[in-house]
Amino acid sequence: MAAMSLDAVQSQRQRSAPAAGPMTQVMGRRFMVSAGHPLAAQAAASILSAGGNAIDAGVAAGLALGVVHPDMVSFAGVAPILVHLSATRETFEVTGVGPYPRQASADFYRTQCAGEIPPGLLRTVVPASPDAWCTALERWGTLSFAEVVAPALECAEQGFPLSVFSAYLIGRSADRYRRWPSSAALYLPGDAPPPPGHRFVQAELAGTIKLMVAAERKARGRGRAGAIRAARDAFYTGDVARRIVEFHAREGGLLTLEDLADFHVEVAAALRTSFHDYEVATCGFSCQGPVLLQMLDLLEGCDLAALGHNSPGALHLITEAMKLAFADREAYYGDPRHVKVPADGLFSKVYAERRRALIREDRAWPDLPPPGDPYGLAAVRNGAPTVPPSPERGHTGALDTAYVAVVDAEGNGFSATPSDPSVDSPVIPGVGCVVSPRGSQGWLAPGHPSEVAPGKRPRLTPAPAMAFRGGRLFMPFGTPGGDVQQQAMLQVFLNIAVFGMLPQQAVEAPRLATRSFPDSFWPHPSAPGVLEVERRIPPETRAALADLGHVVTEWPDWDWRAGAVCAVVVAPDGTLMAGADPRRGAHAIGW
């Protein structure tokens, strides 16, 4: 069966998308999960029904996404996580992204790779998600690794019906899979893309999971935490690690046993900012999460409600605030272990006020605005901008990512954005999946804060969030979508916090995205002034935006490139409500 066309997928999505309104709400009081794939949502719900907490369930869903969404998520990929503990009202981030190998450097790519970060093993960074899942489970969960990975193992070993969306994405990338025999063997059975409903079996990945489960079982005498660490170590220091490194050594990769064995995710307090009577938390500067916080700081001084939802004036202000935040992202964001990031200045309300003055109500910035000076709290930094010129017009449209949000009966919250597409690097024989090709988000421009360096983490696009109200968890939320992530999350949050929508209404409302900044994926192209707008935004609104100087391009009515936001809202009386985006077949389950 031939792969479905984009038009066919969009047509099906438009027909199947529910109408916005309260009748589409999924509600519950005991627990709620919203995830980027129905089987991942079911994995979390089964764990919650069996007595697990939000962290157990979130880890189960994240592990499952690495199996049932193999086009967008790797079992050995990235997984930034936020965890909220209701008993202590603490919110933690798990970094969830690994560094470049010790042998990688910007000079290596400039001199040995013709100034490129090429597809294949040379994009590999240390895989972070196995450690991230195990760390969250060990610290805040209650169950064993074997219990939470059981749904993922079942789907890998016995197979699952491939979704329409995944079948479409695999089909459109068939030539990219053919570059590597191990990838073609898994993703193109019979040298053809599998159709929707195909029973997709991942026997080698099931074998990897079984090695981790067996290591945990063997280490039961070390207690629950020690046994989970043994499962983790089976990946980073055992047979799985050796298979990864042997393939790299044979095929010209850079990853070594030392790179894997020395890796551990970081756990820290989440970053926060206030927005009226809300607080919003994200992961730190090893990802783009703080962009959302800067956007909210910029918009806090704007009366969006008076302008009206998705009015030309409101959309213009939102777009210009996004441009300002992305300008600072390019100038300052990088791995905090390698780059001094001026966080205090970037989150200063005074700084936001001065940057906000750069927004003109009657005219859009034609390109990316200049970065500010967070050190001196000035609207514009003196001197030439650090953002290098874009190599070409357009953007990559890179595949990436899924998402899961969970809230349990005690009010604990989990928000995670696991990722890593399977088209950028070969499947590792004997492991059964691609190992994190997130090195594609590095830079070779000298002096860029995300310039590639040995042991340095690339600046990650996946970035989950949580919102709070009155000191209590209000909403874990997130989305796939590369550079669109923070833009889509901003619009959904504003739909709820400013315009009073229920979560499903907020998720389904039409969206837009600016492309005026360098894309996070190599080779970092940009499209100055381009504003992509879903067609459900009325023609007169699009025309008004064009009159303001935006280069408006149309997305279909329901476009997967606009993200797939999932959210769980905790009402004041404890009722749980969810939003699950129909643009990519997300699903919510509550009880």
Residues in the chain: 591
CA distance 136 to 415: 11
401 is catalytic: yes
Written as six digits, the tokens of 214 are 């067996």
Please, which contacts does 40-46 make with residues 24 or more away whose CB atoms are closer than 8 Å? 40/64, 40/65, 40/68, 40/69, 40/402, 40/404, 40/587, 41/404, 41/580, 41/587, 41/588, 41/589, 42/151, 42/587, 42/589, 43/151, 43/152, 44/404, 44/406, 44/589, 45/589, 45/591, 46/151
Provide the terminal-to-terminal Cα distance of the chain, rounded to the nearest Å: 38
SS3 457: coil
Q: Do the strands 530-534 and 551-555 form a parallel or antiparallel pair, or are they unpaired? A: parallel
CA distance 564 to 26: 17
SS3 439: helix
Active-site annotation holder among 95, 208, 319, 401 = 401
SS3 477: strand
To the nearest 10°, the Cα dihedral for 282, 286, 291, 292?
-20
CA distance 35 to 62: 9
Please, which contacts does 169-172 make with residues 24 or more away whose CB atoms are closer than 8 Å? 169/71, 169/72, 169/399, 170/3, 170/71, 170/194, 171/2, 171/3, 171/4, 172/3, 172/6
Contact 557, 14 (CB under 8 A): yes
Cβ burial, residue 350 (10 Å; 0-12/13-18/19+):
exposed
CA 166, 172, 174, 179 torsion-angle sign: negative
Give the ranges where 100-144 is alpha helix by DSSP (H). Answer: 106-112, 129-140
Task: Write out the catalytic residue numbers.
Answer: 401
